[in-house]
Amino acid sequence: MKTSVRQLCEFAAKQGSLEHRFTPSPSSSQGIEAHQALQSKRGPSYIAEYSLKATVWGLNVSGRADGFDPEHGYIEEIKSHRGHIDTISENRRQYHWAQLKCYAAMICYAQDLSQIELRLVYINVDSGKETTFTKNLKTTELEQFYCQLCLVFSHWCNQLDKHRIKRDQELKALAFPFVDFRRGQRNLSEFVYKCAVQSRDALLQAPTGLGKTIGVLYPALKSMPQAKLDRIHYLSCRNTTKQVAMTTLAQLRNDTDFWGLEMTSKTQSCLHPEASCQGLSCPLADGFFDRLPKARQQLLLGDKLWARSQVEQIAEQHNICPYFLAQEMSHWADVLVADVNHMYDQSAALASMITSEKLRCLSLVDEAHNLIDRAREMYSCSLYQSQFLAAQTLAPKPIAKPLNRVISAWRALNRKLKSADELKSQTQFLNYVPSQLEGPMLSLCSAISDYAVANSISPSLQELLFECLAFTKLSELFNEHSVVEYDYQKRGKSTLSIRNQIPADHLENRFSLSQSSILFSATLSPYDYYKDLLGLSRETLWSEIQSPFCASQLEVRLITNISTRWKQRHASLQPICERIKVQFEQQPGNYIVFASSFAYLDDLKQQMRVHAPNIPLVQQQRYMSESQRQQFLDSFSQHSQQVAFAVLGGIFSEGIDLQGRRLIGAFICTLGLAPFEAQSEVLRERLEQRYGQGYNYTYLYPGLRKVIQAAGRVIRDSDDLGIVELIDERYAHSHIQTLLPNWWQI
């Protein structure tokens, strides 16, 4: 098996505790410059970036030593840093020595040397100061150390190789886990398989109720041997779809032995949120790497579909952090089930892993219609003037001066953008990042970073630093894909935000990392809308799978004599409630009324109480805990009879499965358009400039997507029957009707 010195040491040489505290570090460009500056000072016999290869215990290990001087008999490893040398933890130094010892052992073997001098050089990128540690070691000692690491890693790799050979053999013979495919499901699976094998990106529209999860995962797994894939990423925009994916993988594992892992966020997994991720602070970080090998091996002895609960159980048994245990196992799993953030965010771990380990990956994106808005969030951030003012009371002296410069610059910006006699709220949109703040904010980031090198800082100051760093990073990337939003409420309460509007410019590179990216959902049309805003190439394939349901199962009614526009909302209440009452009396059962806002829901529910006091009513609340959400869903049973009210585009308008009599109808009292507010209008103008589709891309297509998703809650199975009423005068327009699913009979 091929590996690198870095990967070898990451697996076998780490000892002691986790040390994921905040410590300022040089940028990659600073590190490269520091390396090159030192290497240029060495003598003529010095060889920089010395390539090495060696095979031990079946491992083909390769790497590059920073420098080797055969004439003077030394090898060196250069590490750049910031702050005092004493802030580099002992664990980290031992890891650096392990890398250097591996390079030294490989050189001694290749050059037939009996001993060599090892130089571990730390260079401070701010001061230029060099600190050198030296050891003179015999070849026998180096070989013993190196071979022991290789022995540990080769044992793991042998398990991995045997598993992958067995996995590929079994995947080739993997049978579909059900008696037969649903109507359209075979076409879906064939399309996914071809895309994976041919390394093609694709947008795949498959209707709700088809069985997309099994229809996508089954061919993806079968493609692994032929496409020579290292890994499959199943990426989701919602936790509920992650659970469906894990259940589906469990069904598929009955016939084969692939390794699957559910990844969760640090916030969800952390058992000690009050502590920092270091041995002196968190008991689960203390001695993490000493106990990791046994925990890792125990995961291989049990069920190898590592759900969050299983990882947490093993972590508890070995007294280590469940989040970082999952991070360690993510390097070895065949299938990773994760949130889209893990792949597409600015600091996405999976994207970094693909690059550093040179992996061939297939990325499957479920509910991909949500990726546009999710990506906009990933590449947006906000700064609040009040945060900087509050920090004044906490800031130590070295930070106070640059902090005050930011506050002064912000006040100057307020004066420039907001006239002194105007006291009411005002939002402005800018096509540039205000230059007044750039310099002072960079100085503040440096000041906090420098201070944190040798001192502990408060959580609020650390949070302020992270937010300033995020803002400056997005400032550097700022272009026509984003806009600056300045919101002035009152003195000391202004907000400055970078709002991404066209995520395509950020996502394009992320998609290029995967051999194939297949994005699927029940609502991915029009094709150009998603291709444009997600940054997919012109070669991206498109497929629309026909619905497995018959038009006779769903009665779709267009109610075009009622307007749900904002000015006609009050007049719409009585006729809408009359329609709900009549339908409920003719066919009692469970119905959901979808409206565009909570205010509209409140009005409709109040009108229903008056108009039909005997009909049971339930309503989505603005803020609901997990248990309250589940209680809402549990109120829909095969025998219950009620009318529920929910917001279109909210948590109950997609991703829920209410089969049979649990839901027999929906009333959608809106076209789903976003409010015609300043922010939407700025977006419309930007999309019109780029694509010539401002109104459609801002309002119409996103709105109808929400309508179709909500309507898709009604028919979930081949035996289901139901009705959907689309209530708004605009549904009479032919161009609106052409955008509705073609299997609906209108």
The structural domains of the chain, with segments of one domain joined by +, span 2-154, 181-377+504-544, 381-500, 551-737
Confidence of residue 419 (pLDDT cuts 50, 70, 90): low
DSSP 690-734: HHS-HHIIIIIHHHHHHHHHHHTTT--STT--EEEEEESGGGGSH
Q: Is 3.40.50.300 the CATH classification of the domain at 181-377+504-544?
A: yes
Residues 184-195 as b/e (b if ≥16 CB within 10 A, e otherwise) read bbebbbebbbeb
Q: What is the mean pLDDT of residues 322-343?
A: 97
What homologous superfamily is domain 551-737 in, according to CATH?
Answer: P-loop containing nucleotide triphosphate hydrolases (3.40.50.300)
Confidence of residue 206 (pLDDT cuts 50, 70, 90): very high
Confidence of residue 457 (pLDDT cuts 50, 70, 90): confident
If one counts every other C-beta atom within 10 angstroms of the C-beta of residue 129, the result is 12
Backbone phi, then psi, for 527, in 5-degree steps?
-55, -45
The answer to whether 514 and 233 have CB atoms below 8 angstroms apart is yes
Confidence of residue 21 (pLDDT cuts 50, 70, 90): low
Entry pTM: 0.92
Backbone phi, then psi, for 210, in 5-degree steps?
-75, -25
Q: What is the mean pLDDT of residues 713-741?
A: 95
What pLDDT does 497 receive? 96
Report how far residue 665's alpha carbon sits from residue 727's, in angstroms, rounded to the nearest whole number. Answer: 13
More confident residue, 571 or 454: 571
The mean pLDDT of the chain is 92
| CATH placement of domain 2-154 | 3.90.320.10
Judge if 181-377+504-544 and 551-737 fold alike in CATH terms: yes
Fold category of 381-500 in CATH? Fumarase C; Chain B, domain 1 (1.10.275)
Burial class (CB in 10 A: 0-12, 13-18, 19+), 505: middle
pLDDT at 102 over 60: yes
Measured in whole angstroms, the distance separating CA 504 from the mean position of its chain's CA atoms is 16
Express each pLDDT in 226-236 by its tens digit: 999 999 999 99
pLDDT at 422 over 50: no
What pLDDT does 22 receive? 64
Report how far residue 645's alpha carbon sits from residue 664's, in angstroms, rounded to the nearest whole number. Answer: 14
- The three-state DSSP-derived secondary structure of 336-387 is EEEECHHHHCCCCHHHHHHHHHCCCEEEEECCHHHHHHHHHHHCCEEEEHHH
Q: What is the mean pLDDT of residues 18-32?
A: 77
Percent of the chain with pLDDT over 90: 76
What pLDDT does 72 receive? 94
pLDDT at 287 over 90: yes
Confidence of residue 85 (pLDDT cuts 50, 70, 90): confident
Report how far residue 123's alpha carbon sits from residue 128's, in angstroms, rounded to the nearest whole number. Answer: 6
pLDDT at 720 over 60: yes
What pLDDT does 420 receive? 41
Report how far residue 224's alpha carbon sits from residue 252's, in angstroms, rounded to the nearest whole number. Answer: 14
What pLDDT does 423 receive? 42
pLDDT at 178 over 60: yes
